[in-house]
Structure 1
Amino acid sequence: MSSSPVAAFAPLRHPAFRALWIANLASNTGLWIQNTGAGWLMTSLDPSPVMVSLVQAAAMLPVFLFALPGGALADILDRRAILIAAQIWIAAAGLLLAVLAALGLLGAWGLLALTFAIGTGTAVIFPAWAAATPELVPQDDLVQAVALNGVGFNLARALGPALGGFVMAAAGPTAAFALNAVGFLALLWALVAWRRPVERRSQLPPERLPSAVRAGLRFATAVPAMRAAILRACALFFFASAVWALMPLVIREVLGLGPAAFGAMLGVAGFGAVAAGTVLPMIRDRLSQGRLVFFASLLAYAAMALLAVSRHWAPAALAVLIFGAAWLAAGSTLGAAAQMTAPAWVRARALGVYHLAFFGALAAGSLLWGWVGTRVGVPAALLICAGSGAIAAVAVRPWRLVNFAQDLAQRVKARRGEKAATLLPKAEDPASVLKELLHDDSGRVLEVVRYQVDPDDVDGFLAAMKHVREVRLRAGAAGWRLYRDLARPDCFTELWAVDSWTEYLRHTVRLDEVDRAALALVVEMHRGGQGPEASRHLNVEP
């Protein structure tokens, strides 16, 4: 695909993605209209600062509570069904909100409860929708599809509050809440119309929610590329949140402008995000993912510093425009890195962890920089944040955003060339007297593989075992270790464990062609009379 402005919209040529993207834009715009209407309505129901601030808390808190379990459900059940169920939940809550507002029966705590209910549905949708994106576009269009999702989110963020304010002024909160419900109904219709390819049913029992959540956390913390995406996202959004948190005060206190200017500034940020999404394919041809995130982060902090010293709307608008572009470029690249790192079996729950970190960094950063702004003033807070954010961007740069599967495939191809496939170690079948113990509650299963390596190949073997470790962890291993025999330095023992016999079987079927090729590399380095010896052990409580 040629890198041009047209390439930026290439994912929209796929009908399913196009329909869902447009519907998602309508849904997100309605959500921002609802949030604006809820915040304004609370100033009438209970104008205390605590209650007004609780509206945003009620919208954000569900992400911390339900993003990971929602992602786990989207992995172990049908993602389309999860998305449809969440949309029905949100539409029902939105319609109830509109009806109660129209009848004059909506109180302050009822508003918070229904806002929390809507936030719960969106918390489930975030990881499920992100995990479904690779099913809607081919691999070549995935990064730009993620960028277009970011463009849509920023467009909704720019348009929603402005439309919400207009609707509230013209027709009141009932109309704002009704528009939100209509937006989610539009997305519900698009999801119902989506014909997701039928997956091959596994013969293994479905994962249980607690173990699925643990597997998602384990994957996100154990796989280096996923850790890097999460860490760099936290570093970016913790500091970048200062602009969104302090923007109203910049407009009102520093520039001396009103709410119309605030809406316009949000629109400028959205336009910057759209512009960045258009040129992003050309930038990606010249910069790796890691360098793109690094330079976009520095650009965002430079824009933040410009906003801090601006005393006129023109340079402030330029700063916000640049910030919106940098925010989209860095954020969409990090999101794509997280999506491409996680294999299909764990993608939604791993992205749930990513979104939890994303929103956690935004919330924590907003609180901190808001507090700093009250202590030293808004311009000084933005300058401090810009400087410390740039330092953080340099500090986290060594964490590489590498697509493990692509990197491993290249390494395997370079080492193996055209060699025939190698048989992997295979342990003996379980003894018949123990087979009744092998089930979903069997307890931990340990596999032991013993290798004998030529002394000249030890360095290469250790390098290859780093990839084996990541293969095991990516497929769901609960732990992995490699030991060297002190008496026989040419002998190594690999140990890896899973939580149950059923998890062991799942681990086996999760291995793809590249994973098996990586395992085959170390088998080819074995110099024993036969292949490496493998054995399986069941944890026994004395």
Structure 2
Amino acid sequence: MPLRLPMPRAFLPLRHAVFRTLWLATLASNIGMWVQNTGAGWLMTSLDPAPLMVSLVQAASMLPVFLLALPAGALADIIDRRVFLIGAQAWVLAMALLLAVLTASGSLGPWGLLALTFAIGAGSAMNFPAWAATTNELVPREDLVGAIALNGIGFNLARALGPALGGFAIAAAGPQAAFVLNAAAFLVLIVALVLWRRPVEPRGRIPKEHLVSAMRAGLRFVSASPAMRAAILRACTFFLFSAAVWGLLPLFVRQQLGLGPQAFGLMLGVMGLSAVAAGFALPSLRGRLDRSGMVFWASIGICAAMGILAASTHWAPAALGMLLYGASWIAAGSTLGASAQLAAPGWVRARAIAIYQLSFFGVMALGSALAGWVGGRFGVPLALGAAAGLGAVAAVAVRGWRIDSVALAPAAAAPAPAPEPEAPDPALRALLGEHSGRVLEVVRYCIDPTARDAFMAAMQEVRRVRLRSGAATWRLYEDVAHPERWVELWTVESWTEHLREEARRTDWDRAALARAAALHRGEEPPEAARFLNVVP
């Protein structure tokens, strides 16, 4: 009887066929993207070797995420994600082929390279939130964290293989070869997406959200979610300073080490392999460190890596620095990404992830450009050293912002947190819909004055629940003549938005509402009512 070895924990999500197919196709497209980035960065050192222009290649590839992530996330939440993903890949394929043709014909200048790099980055920006939100559809919940980590491993495996492949392609046939390889890789992903038979979502009684209102709902959710805000802040402080390596690595290899494109690709490959190895070690590390601790120590590690690079003039210590950089990058990046995904419910997941990605890609573009400016004025070693020192200070400063999810304890034997209001009067039903105007919702509580502090604390979380569910405004009033009487008021944009509130609430949200309602005094539950704005 053949001996079956257990599958490593990191590979368990690959048991699911659709996830496995799309993961492999995405791996191919990520390899192509790193080949593209390597070719673009090296081509700019020939077209215009100024440090600022070289660093702008990385900025141009990341800036579209800052500009397009939120509308991309909203679209991925309100239209078929499979169709959306196919369209994004087709755009990248077309831009990569155009870049290859212009490079081969000698018609491409430095600003043209930046423009097409930006266009390719725009396609990737449309893809990122949709793909991240799709992971939850492809694996069961028990494999979700592993699937998120495996996506990070795949990304870093691509980073290990792509730059090395790009370096050799450039040396053998010029930068245009790197751009052709990128186009071929995205064709693989398009085929996989076309073959994916995504289940048709049942058509609900509530209309689909519109783009602008969906974007507003996503922003309100993130602003009212402490876990999302903490993940975004920690990501911004981490990526702002660590982006210096991405902006300066081509010049570091060419000027400080005096090496060629093969060495540039291999340096990136070393970093990627280190990230892959660290990805396999993360499950055991998570048993010893919580998420916040993992990000802190990874931040310290990446700052130490940048310090090593700043002092390196030989490839050996530089390779050691890249090893530490890659391991720290995957440890922080995958932990922060998983925290962001787990903090967002399904209805808003793509938008929340998009805002998270908007934030850290934006600061990466800023950090890369700033590092290029400092490198141009004061030299590459000083720019890397400054990023290392400031990054360590920032990591200590934000250490108190916890990204670990804390479950809300359910309220035992609590009355219904939001009693069902009376049905709308038939005479007004014709006014209720997407264009009804704002709806005011009211809940009246009777609270024992001795429980005032406990009620105020409970209502702070209720406020966040209402805002996360779509409230445009929220207020709490206390009766000055009868301190036991309280009125909670919040508004939503329309009657349709009001109908979406309950579907958007999680079990944690309902538990928070129940804890507040449990403090209500009286035989009847809190009184709820809804009012339609009839005066513009």
TM-score (normalised: structure 1):
0.90
In structure 2, the CA distance between the partners of 1:377 and 1:526, relative to structure 1 (3 Å rule), is same
2:533 counterpart of 1:531: no
> Is contact 2:416–2:525 with CA below 8 Å preserved after alignment?
no
Structure 1 residue corresponding to 2:13, chosen from 11, 14, 28: 11
Structure 1 residue corresponding to 2:84, chosen from 73, 77, 82: 82
> Partner amino acid for 1:407?
A
Whole-angstrom distance in 1 between the partners of 2:244 and 2:436? 49
Structure 2 residue corresponding to 1:270, chosen from 269, 272, 280: 272
1:145-294 matched pairs, under 5 angstroms = 145-294=147-296
> Is contact 2:96–2:182 with CA below 8 Å preserved after alignment?
yes
2:506 counterpart of 1:517: no
Deviation, structure 1 residue 48: 7.5
Whole-angstrom distance in 1 between the partners of 2:404 and 2:460? 14
Structure 1 residue corresponding to 2:422, chosen from 428, 432, 435: 428
Q: Please, which runs of 5 or more residues in structure 1 have no aligned partner?
A: none
Whole-angstrom distance in 1 between the partners of 2:163 and 2:225? 38
> Is contact 1:452–1:492 with CA below 8 Å preserved after alignment?
yes
Give the structure 2 partner of residue 492 of structure 1.
Answer: 486
Deviation, structure 1 residue 459: 3.5
Deviates more, 1:86-95 or 1:32-41: 32-41
Give the structure 2 partner of residue 472 of structure 1.
Answer: 466
> Partner amino acid for 1:268?
V
Whole-angstrom distance in 1 between the partners of 2:391 and 2:376? 19
In structure 2, the CA distance between the partners of 1:9 and 1:98, relative to structure 1 (3 Å rule), is same
Structure 2 residue corresponding to 1:307, chosen from 298, 309, 319: 309
In structure 2, the CA distance between the partners of 1:90 and 1:383, relative to structure 1 (3 Å rule), is closer
CA RMSD of aligned residues (A): 2.7
Give the structure 2 partner of residue 359 of structure 1.
Answer: 361
Deviation, structure 1 residue 87: 1.7
Whole-angstrom distance in 2 between the partners of 1:402 and 1:146? 16
Give the structure 1 partner of residue 439 of structure 2.
Answer: 445
> Is contact 1:127–1:352 with CA below 8 Å preserved after alignment?
yes
SS in 1 for 2:407: helix
Whole-angstrom distance in 2 between the partners of 1:119 and 1:250? 24
Deviates more, 1:301-310 or 1:318-327: 301-310
Cα deviation, 1:247-281, whole Å, max 9, x if unaligned, reads 33433443444433322221111111111100111
Deviation, structure 1 residue 130: 0.8
Identity, % of aligned pairs? 63
Deviation, structure 1 residue 501: 1.1
Give the structure 1 partner of residue 299 of structure 2.
Answer: 297
> Partner amino acid for 2:335?
T
Cα deviation, 1:29-86, whole Å, max 9, x if unaligned, reads 1122233334555677x55858766655543332222211111100001112211221
Structure 2 residue corresponding to 1:454, chosen from 441, 448, 471: 448
Whole-angstrom distance in 2 between the partners of 1:55 and 1:376? 20
Cα deviation, 1:103-157, whole Å, max 9, x if unaligned, reads x385447655544432221110011011111222222332332222222222223
> Is contact 1:270–1:324 with CA below 8 Å preserved after alignment?
yes
> Is contact 1:5–1:279 with CA below 8 Å preserved after alignment?
no
TM-score (normalised: structure 2):
0.91
SS in 2 for 1:433: coil
> Partner amino acid for 2:480?
L
SS in 1 for 2:20: helix
> Partner amino acid for 1:71?
G
Deviation, structure 1 residue 365: 0.9
2:407 counterpart of 1:407: yes
> Is contact 1:59–1:119 with CA below 8 Å preserved after alignment?
yes
> Partner amino acid for 1:218?
R
In structure 2, the CA distance between the partners of 1:381 and 1:37, relative to structure 1 (3 Å rule), is closer
> Is contact 2:55–2:368 with CA below 8 Å preserved after alignment?
no
> Partner amino acid for 1:484?
E
- Number of equivalent positions: 529
Structure 1 residue corresponding to 2:385, chosen from 377, 383, 386: 383
Whole-angstrom distance in 2 between the partners of 1:225 and 1:127? 18
Cα deviation, 1:447-490, whole Å, max 9, x if unaligned, reads 11111123443343333323322322222222323233333333
> Is contact 1:5–1:278 with CA below 8 Å preserved after alignment?
no
Deviation, structure 1 residue 232: 0.9
SS in 2 for 1:201: coil
> Is contact 1:75–1:347 with CA below 8 Å preserved after alignment?
yes
Whole-angstrom distance in 1 between the partners of 2:206 and 2:249? 52
Q: Please, which runs of 5 or more residues in structure 2 have no aligned partner?
A: 1-5
Give the structure 2 partner of residue 507 of structure 1.
Answer: 501
In structure 2, the CA distance between the partners of 1:106 and 1:215, relative to structure 1 (3 Å rule), is farther
2:136 counterpart of 1:134: yes
In structure 2, the CA distance between the partners of 1:297 and 1:115, relative to structure 1 (3 Å rule), is closer
> Partner amino acid for 2:503?
V
In structure 2, the CA distance between the partners of 1:140 and 1:287, relative to structure 1 (3 Å rule), is farther
2:52 counterpart of 1:70: no
In structure 2, the CA distance between the partners of 1:112 and 1:398, relative to structure 1 (3 Å rule), is closer
SS in 2 for 1:11: helix
> Partner amino acid for 2:490?
W
In structure 2, the CA distance between the partners of 1:249 and 1:384, relative to structure 1 (3 Å rule), is same
Give the structure 1 partner of residue 96 of structure 2.
Answer: 94
Structure 2 residue corresponding to 1:316, chosen from 304, 314, 318: 318
Deviates more, 1:507-516 or 1:214-223: 507-516
Cα deviation, 1:381-426, whole Å, max 9, x if unaligned, reads 33332222122112212222143xx612xx11xx42xx48736322
> Is contact 2:231–2:403 with CA below 8 Å preserved after alignment?
yes
SS in 1 for 2:208: coil
Whole-angstrom distance in 2 between the partners of 1:98 and 1:371? 29
Give the structure 1 partner of residue 3 of structure 2.
Answer: none
Whole-angstrom distance in 1 between the partners of 2:144 and 2:61? 29
Whole-angstrom distance in 2 between the partners of 1:367 and 1:337? 28
In structure 2, the CA distance between the partners of 1:212 and 1:458, relative to structure 1 (3 Å rule), is same
